[in-house]
Amino acid sequence: MQVGPYPIDPPVVLAPMAGITNVAFRTLCREFGSPTSLYICEMITARAVVERNEKTLHMMSFDADEHPRSMQLYGVDPATLGEAVRIIVGEGWADHIDLNLGCPVPKVTRLGGGSALPYKRRLFANIVREMVAAAGEVPVTFKFRIGIDDTHHTYLDTGRIAEAEGAAAVALHARTASQLYSGAADWSAIARLKEAVTTIPVLGNGDIFTAADALRMQAETGCDGVVIGRGCLGRPWLFAELSAALRGEPIPDGPTLGRVGEILIRHACLLVEHDGEDKAMRDIRKHMAWYLMGFPVGSELRRRFATVTGLHQIEDLVGQLDPDVPFPVDAATGPRGRQGSPQKKVALPEGWLDDPEDDTIPSAADVMHSGG
């Protein structure tokens, strides 16, 4: 698979996830996977880039040997997004830029952003045109959902518009915004998008928890590549399994509990290097349950992992694990992370659904916060 000038081999993409895909986690995934797959930074707000917000610039960190460097932006104003892209390209901060059109959370959609935005076809076309023009030779891609809800599907128009206006690739999370992360992804929508978008790669996302899932998605939909989100939480070695499967090689066995402990420590050390120990410990706590999922670890030890305050404490706790326990097969299947129930109604700006051709920029939509 080719995205702009970059061959993506195997065609695997780490999805941008708020609070997850920082430089530490991306480094860990790259150590297991192929260096020529794509590993996307957590979402960065375009307005924060334009204002050169210090916290946001720190979030935009990449490892010295990370290439291509992939960054995801959020925004709803074509001018702001264009300016952010010009800054990123001009400063040499990234080699690939993606736009978030998939976030379904109310604080984003009620401002007309994320998965609400593609409903406004002309506004979306203006955004693609502005970003592609500002990017020059840097490829720009777009990740979106099926639509707002079951009565407002937008993905086919979104894919066609992106293709026509110069996108390098598109990716579909095969759920609606109203589903959030619940229920099953509708892979048939990926197949329909692949039929509609014929000149650029189409990637599929949703419910890929094993290498077999990735192979099945490609076989059923014809998609050019796969995007991995929740399936790799607490399982960065999934990228080794995906690389093997997509190259027709034997899939490696899951790690023992001792090896998982080593990976957990490596993750924590990378976070400390990036953010310092205090913030790193707050960050690593949310990963603990994912790393230990399915293993026979007692409740008291789990509680202590979930409340760590220092790197040496993690090392001590890992030393208390039985290193020879094999990886539990059941832990490799099924959802991780966010699930929840579907939304009864997606939060949208007043009158948002009245006219899909209205390209008015929603008021107060250019938020400063990054990371989702």
Catalytic residues, by residue number, are 103
Rounded Cα–Cα distance for residues 114 and 45 (Å): 11
Rounded Cα–Cα distance for residues 26 and 360 (Å): 36
Query: How is residue 142 written in tokens?
Result: 């777009």
| H and E: helices and strands count for the chain | 14, 13
Residues β-bridged to residue 204: 172, 226
Residues β-bridged to residue 225: 203
Residues β-bridged to residue 100: 143
Tell me which residue of 51, 60, 58, 47 sits closest to 16, measured CA to CA. Answer: 60
Rounded Cα–Cα distance for residues 200 and 99 (Å): 16
Cβ 299 vs Cβ 287: under 8 Å: no
| Count of beta carbons in the 10 Å neighbourhood of residue 116 | 31
Tell me which residue of 79, 47, 51, 73 sits closest to 60, measured CA to CA. Answer: 73
Query: How is residue 243 written in tokens?
Result: 């690389």
Q: Is 264 exposed, middle or buried (0-12, 13-18, 19+ CB in 10 A)?
A: buried
Cβ 26 vs Cβ 51: under 8 Å: no
Q: Is 198 exposed, middle or buried (0-12, 13-18, 19+ CB in 10 A)?
A: exposed
Rounded Cα–Cα distance for residues 171 and 57 (Å): 26
| Count of beta carbons in the 10 Å neighbourhood of residue 290 | 17
